[in-house]
Amino acid sequence: MSDIPRDDGPISRFPFPDIEKLPDDIRQVIEANAKKAGFTPNVFLAYAWKPAHFRAFFQYYEVLMRGESGLSRAERELIVVAVSAVNACTY
């Protein structure tokens, strides 16, 4: 056991942007997802640091999840859950 006091906040060397200072389109996506999920995934804030990366990530997500496919939306979500479980991702 360490005698060093610890901060229970997030541990990251990656800077997180102030949500209020983000471009409107990005802020709206983050706020809508946080309302639906009950929290803001760190990956959203990480990508938001570079708005072009954030937009590219979500455009790719939309193509994967809503684009033409032989898979239903439910089947795609099951794949996402399985991959997240294998990668020990909690969201």
- Asked if pLDDT for residue 5 goes beyond 60, the answer is no
Distance of CA 22 to the CA centre of its chain: 15
Q: Is 44 inside a domain boundary?
A: yes
List the domain range (segments joined by +) for residue 31. Answer: 20-86
Q: Is 49 inside a domain boundary?
A: yes
Task: Count the domains in the chain.
Answer: 1
Residue from 75, 42, 38, 43 nearest 57 by CA: 43
Its pTM stands at: 0.69
**CB–CB of 14/46 below 8 Å?**
yes
Q: Is 70 inside a domain boundary?
A: yes
Q: Is 14 inside a domain boundary?
A: no
How do residues 8-64 score in pLDDT, each as one tens digit?
Answer: 555 567 777 888 999 999 999 999 999 998 988 888 888 999 999 999 999 999 999
* AA letter at 3: D
pLDDT of the residue at 43: 84
Distance of CA 78 to the CA centre of its chain: 17
Q: At 56, which CATH number?
A: 1.20.5.810
Residue from 53, 48, 57, 37 nearest 14 by CA: 48
pLDDT of the residue at 54: 95
